[in-house]
Chains A and B, each alone.
Chain A
């Protein structure tokens, strides 16, 4: 591992709390590592595993998901769905060989600019310890992504043909 490895982290932040929290870090002129690239969603509940897999596929070394604290969600309980989804995503990632350091799900409120900076700092430090992602994993992810997409299409196609409904 080269000494000057700077991990690339994708941050997916909810509009109401965490994006505003990251903005506050800015207005407070707090400095944190430039390794994170932030993408906004309306609610952390919007984050589906595909987005996370896509990030790794595109060369991210880590993914950070952040939403409002439980109880403070702008959409009442969208973040609770995030909370339920997180362990499943984490397990999926471990199964395909992505180290736990590379995926983090946190709560950052609109007033926690300092906390946001610290989280990024810590994550950069943790990922530096495990090294760059792509080099280790090769194209395994592309296979998974492909499978995810294919199975979705298959399901839709099967539905189209059979017309039967598993829910009814």
Chain B
């Protein structure tokens, strides 16, 4: 075996590693290995001087392999690969030993930690000897983007990519774009009318020559990789010819089911027909036929009053679903959130008492184009004289969601202001802690306090009905008192939850979710927009609950990520792939059945299996299954893994 010149660098990471692992000792011990010609420890290996030190050693001492014992390779492997390349060494001649996340941060005993760190470094040294230079593959980028979800963050992302002159496919599951924000009345802290700031953006989407909008559509399959995704989208039939429909709403007025179906856009506070316009500012402003309630579609029995009423002859019951296939360079996920169903917390009487509503229902109520034309009314049509707002329903609660939904304190304060503004009722806010952290938020909270709103520090425990009146029961933790406060209306400010189909979407796109069920970012602080899958980015509440300013900011950030790969025109993709040694291959074809990507085919002439490296993703499942040991996975071959195992266990 040829002798290597290995450099080993042990990072202190300040006290993050050195506080637990005796870095000097690890360095000393590892320096005793024959082929280790340089062993150094340093305060911050990822810093400029740290990287310079490595580069200099490579040049001056002729190192041909480098081991860096530091943080997780998921963090800084690309950094150090670049450092190697800067000194003229192939980046794959590096091996990292994870002595921070896997050692110093998880181990109490310093001696144990030092021992463990040393064995991981030994494994890395054994492995790195067998590393081979690998050239990263560069592939051209398709300069189109797919945005999944047409709420405010998806709209923002789509518009920014489109404005930069690139094509966007915007896919929305509902029949219209605008998401939850379209349902809001006023937005905190400035009390801008939601429609006034959102509608122009929705119209821009509809009019942008670079945006192809697909509503009533969902992604059913994603193939490919960064720069070169193929996305399959199913567009459901609307039974309306979009080219002909003028959005006049005559079909809705004529429909036999008129005023019989709870209207989703009004959160069930109004009734609609089976043929209807989702809402007056909808984009696209086209009628929709609800196939679950249309008598003709469900029972084939109807007078077809809508067809007769439609002057434009736009109704077509023969429409079928359409399957589209888009080639895109990147995907921006902006699928939003679901509102916590308050019925899951039965102590609050939602669904049982008519005047217990949720925040979105209150939004619709105060909206001038909503079911009550902007009047706050009780079920009997009268105005409430007292209103309670209960915070954290389904949030910060061990029984439902442990996390804080972030927007509810501010929206609760906004509700209080709107109640004061619309009907001057007494308002009681039941809160655990007030979290008003954004720009202008604390000021708004102070303003509403001055408007005479009562703030009760204590989570509303229960809503009861006593003598026909709603009573909120809570412990006022500031007064140290049990309180029962009678009110006319209760607004439950419910949690923002991962969408019910989040798991399915994550599986279709091959991305991870965090413990709370939201989509997971690559790094919570430094890379909150990228997923662990290259080329798939996150925006808005699908990543975590956030308010409109943050959703818009993340939408722009996701657009910037997408534009960045379009601008470079090419992306580096993982060079890890498998290959077959035809000398050893017995042609048994076991590997062919194991490959999910159909990258392996039998060469009919030689009767040996062959791998198409362009299709291979490098998982190595075929290698593990090959009875002849004929398959070799670059950077993860048998010899490398066996050597590492030998090293870490030594």
Taking Cβ atoms with an 8 Å cutoff, the residues of A that contact B are 8, 10, 16-17, 19-20, 22-23, 25-27, 29-32, 34, 37-43, 45-48, 50-51, 54-55, 58-60, 71-72, 74-78, 81, 85, 109-112, 117, 152, 155-156, 159-160, 165-168
CB pair A37 B116 closer than 8 Å:
yes
CB pair B596 A166 closer than 8 Å:
no
CB pair B100 A26 closer than 8 Å:
yes
CB pair B620 A111 closer than 8 Å:
no
Give Cα A30 to B515, complex, Å. Answer: 16
CB pair A117 B123 closer than 8 Å:
no
Q: A30-B106, A55-B645 are in contact. Are A72 and B101 (CB under 8 A)?
A: no
Closest chain A CB from B379 CB (angstroms):
42
Give B495-509 interface residues, CB cut-off 8 Å to A: 503, 506-507
| Count of B interface residues, CB-CB < 8 Å | 65
Give Cα A74 to B576, complex, Å. Answer: 14
Give Cα A78 to B334, complex, Å. Answer: 28
Q: A23-B102, A43-B620, A111-B514 are in contact. Are A51 and B641 (CB under 8 A)?
A: yes
Apart from A10-B648, A32-B106, A54-B645, 20 more pairs, CB < 8 Å = A16-B512, A23-B72, A23-B101, A26-B101, A26-B102, A27-B105, A31-B107, A34-B107, A34-B112, A38-B120, A39-B644, A43-B619, A45-B619, A46-B633, A75-B596, A109-B512, A110-B514, A155-B628, A167-B587, A167-B602
* CB nearest to B127 among chain A residues: A39
Please give, as numbers and ranges, the residues of chain A lying within 8 Å of B628 by CB-CB distance. Answer: 152, 155-156, 159
Closest chain B CB from A44 CB (angstroms):
9
Please give, as numbers and ranges, the residues of chain A lying within 8 Å of B650 by CB-CB distance. Answer: 58
CB pair A16 B649 closer than 8 Å:
no
* CB nearest to B574 among chain A residues: A42
Please give, as numbers and ranges, the residues of chain A lying within 8 Å of B298 by CB-CB distance. Answer: none
Please give, as numbers and ranges, the residues of chain B lying within 8 Å of A34 by CB-CB distance. Answer: 103, 106-107, 109, 112-113, 115-116
* CB nearest to A77 among chain B residues: B596
Closest chain B CB from A168 CB (angstroms):
6
Give Cα A54 to B649, complex, Å. Answer: 10
Map CB proximity to A onto B81-120 as digits: 1 under 8 Å, 0 otherwise.
0000000000000000010111101111100110110011
Q: A27-B101, A27-B105, A32-B106 are in contact. Are A72 and B512 (CB under 8 A)?
A: yes
CB pair B627 A48 closer than 8 Å:
no
Q: A25-B106, A46-B620 are in contact. Are A152 and B629 (CB under 8 A)?
A: yes
Q: A54-B646, A117-B106 are in contact. Are A76 and B596 (CB under 8 A)?
A: yes
* CB nearest to B633 among chain A residues: A46
Does B533 sit at the interface, judged by CB under 8 A? Answer: yes
Give Cα A19 to B98, complex, Å. Answer: 11
Give Cα A155 to B629, complex, Å. Answer: 10
Give Cα A81 to B626, complex, Å. Answer: 13
CB pair A156 B584 closer than 8 Å:
yes
CB pair A81 B594 closer than 8 Å:
yes
Selected A-B contacts with CB under 8 Å, 28 pairs: A10-B645, A19-B74, A23-B98, A30-B106, A39-B641, A42-B618, A42-B620, A45-B594, A46-B620, A46-B621, A46-B624, A48-B624, A50-B638, A51-B645, A74-B533, A75-B596, A81-B594, A81-B625, A110-B532, A111-B514, A111-B520, A152-B629, A156-B584, A156-B629, A159-B586, A159-B587, A165-B588, A167-B586
Map CB proximity to A onto B568-592 as digits: 1 under 8 Å, 0 otherwise.
0000000010000001101111000
Contacting residue for B520 out of A27, A32, A110, CB 8 A: A110
Give Cα A40 to B596, complex, Å. Answer: 21
- Residue of B588, B620, B624 with most chain A CB atoms under a 10 A cut-off: B624
Please give, as numbers and ranges, the residues of chain A lying within 8 Å of B594 by CB-CB distance. Answer: 45, 81
Closest 9 CB pairs of A and B: A26-B101, A46-B620, A45-B621, A48-B624, A43-B619, A37-B648, A26-B105, A75-B619, A34-B112
Map CB proximity to A onto B44-76 as digits: 1 under 8 Å, 0 otherwise.
000000000000000000000000000011100
Please give, as numbers and ranges, the residues of chain B lying within 8 Å of A112 by CB-CB distance. Answer: 515
- Residue of A59, A77, A155 with most chain B CB atoms under a 10 A cut-off: A155
Please give, as numbers and ranges, the residues of chain A lying within 8 Å of B617 by CB-CB distance. Answer: 75
CB pair A31 B512 closer than 8 Å:
no
Q: A26-B105, A59-B649 are in contact. Are A42 and B513 (CB under 8 A)?
A: no
Please give, as numbers and ranges, the residues of chain A lying within 8 Å of B98 by CB-CB distance. Answer: 23, 38
CB pair A39 B648 closer than 8 Å:
yes
Closest chain B CB from A40 CB (angstroms):
8
Contacting residue for A155 out of B620, B627, B636, CB 8 A: B627
Give Cα A22 to B602, complex, Å. Answer: 39
CB pair A42 B649 closer than 8 Å:
no
Does B14 sit at the interface, judged by CB under 8 A? Answer: no
Does B315 sit at the interface, judged by CB under 8 A? Answer: no
Map CB proximity to A onto B358-401 as digits: 1 under 8 Å, 0 otherwise.
00000000000000000000000000000000000000000000
CB pair B507 A165 closer than 8 Å:
no
Please give, as numbers and ranges, the residues of chain B lying within 8 Å of A156 by CB-CB distance. Answer: 583-584, 586, 628-630
CB pair A75 B621 closer than 8 Å:
yes
CB pair A39 B645 closer than 8 Å:
yes
Give Cα A41 to B641, complex, Å. Answer: 8
Please give, as numbers and ranges, the residues of chain A lying within 8 Å of B624 by CB-CB distance. Answer: 45-48, 81, 85
Please give, as numbers and ranges, the residues of chain B lying within 8 Å of A39 by CB-CB distance. Answer: 123, 641, 644-645, 648
Give Cα A26 to B104, complex, Å. Answer: 8
CB pair A37 B119 closer than 8 Å:
yes
CB pair B588 A31 closer than 8 Å:
no
Give Cα A111 to B506, complex, Å. Answer: 14
Give Cα A79 to B229, complex, Å. Answer: 23
Please give, as numbers and ranges, the residues of chain A lying within 8 Å of B512 by CB-CB distance. Answer: 16-17, 20, 72, 109-111
CB pair A155 B112 closer than 8 Å:
no
Does B157 sit at the interface, judged by CB under 8 A? Answer: no
Closest chain A CB from B517 CB (angstroms):
9
